[in-house]
Chain A
């Protein structure tokens, strides 16, 4: 008889290692459900969930929507483009109007860090953070760890390097918290301009040579360069970035061990990852997407249980 220690999933920082284990164990059962002929359970049939997306998304939004439908929840979708946000409505007003339609849970993505935390102080519904600016993306970190656990048996004791635009990445921060809570060693790797200044204080190793990073690790989680968040130039050109930090199959094959290659998507093929690397046997990128639905089902189910 276990339940989550939190009512909202705002970030990995706020949850306990026991919460992570409970989510994984529940996700194991949902993954089993997803492999049946009938992929649906009636657990959340009396619950309405609003997917409120103030920022673009493909995978996360589809994955959440599918998870909700597999749990038999009623869903409504909101995206800020084409809505009254453009007419000047505040975040709290927008969400309160959605809640007035008797919605039980909010899945929110927002470009401002802390937006879901602010909301959680003002509204009664359970909130799931689907990404807030450059801050956290908890369900992505959970599905990443879940995929590592599935491939390597466990996360504890494993060496994981996160490569790329760490400065603008919410996936990186959530992954650092999640991996450390499960006892993994974490390294970040990228051009010095794309590494946050005080990142060592989180207890992670820092490396600027991608070759050394790959030789050190069991798992490499490669991130995209987030050009849309970059207000200034952090490196001379994408071509130069690829030359120094791009990973290809030749490089992976030349390592004297097998490593697991991950990417949260969307991939910029030919920039951070070459096509032959992304499609190689090292890659578990599509397993990550598959596991995303099971993890999100587990999170929604366990939060609904908290009420």
Chain B
């Protein structure tokens, strides 16, 4: 297995800061906007975005966690079972501008499931998608992100891994992992 660092922690800081400013540009004071992190890994991105926005705006933007397990279209078609995570949304989605947040956008199927799962909480005014990494030319569905941290050209056999300090990693980092025959 080969692991290549594509974004280090300083660059990731800058990237998150830029994404937050882009969000402020379109959402202003976030009075009608909410953030939903997609479980499991979008959770860390959403928390990071919420913290950074709080340091800039001086207020907490409502942030929830959305689990898409029961809405996935690959149930019974996967080799490995998926374990469900908690959905935690303490606010109404009805009429809000929702920003869905995930770490890596790959086939787009999780985002489709998330759109489906989110509707159970009400009808949002608009939905946007923020991802740290957009893997180019890998989409199975016509889904495009509104805000992108980094576009990455990768092979199907490769994997993009976003690591967070404190979550089983020493530094924030984004890696491109290539499986090799050993």
Measured CB to CB, the residues of A under 8 A from B are 1-3, 25-26, 28-29, 32-33, 36-38, 40-44, 46, 71, 301, 304-305, 307
Contacts and interface: CB of A to CB of B under 8 A. Distances in A.
Given A36-B120, A36-B121, A37-B122, A1 B76 contact: no
B86 A38 contact: no
Please name the 6 residue pairs, one residue from A and one from B, whose CB atoms are nearest each other, closest first: A41-B70, A38-B120, A29-B84, A3-B81, A43-B70, A305-B81
B128 interface: no
Interface of B: 67, 69-72, 75-76, 80-87, 116-117, 119-122
Contacts of B69: 29
B76 A307 contact: yes
A interface majority secondary structure: loop
Contact of A43 (B75, B81, B83): B75
Given A41-B70, A42-B116, A304-B76, A26 B84 contact: yes
Given A1-B81, A26-B84, A305-B76, A33 B70 contact: yes
A266 to B, nearest CB: 32
A299 to B, nearest CB: 14
A38 B122 CA distance: 9
Nearest to A301: B70
A282 to B, nearest CB: 30
Nearest to A26: B84
Nearest to A298: B84
B111 to A, nearest CB: 16
Contact of A32 (B71, B75, B86, B122): B86
24 contacts: A1-B80, A1-B83, A2-B81, A2-B83, A29-B69, A29-B70, A29-B84, A29-B85, A32-B86, A36-B120, A37-B122, A38-B120, A41-B71, A41-B117, A42-B70, A42-B116, A43-B75, A44-B75, A46-B76, A71-B70, A304-B75, A304-B76, A305-B76, A307-B76
Contacts of B76: 46, 304-305, 307
A37 B120 contact: yes
B91 to A, nearest CB: 13
Nearest to B68: A41
B82 A37 contact: no
B122 A42 contact: no
Contact of B75 (A28, A33, A37, A305): A305
A304 B82 CA distance: 12
Contacts of A37: 120-122
Contacts of A1: 80-83
Contacts of B85: 29
A44 B70 CA distance: 9
A36 B121 CA distance: 7
Nearest to B70: A41
Nearest to A297: B70
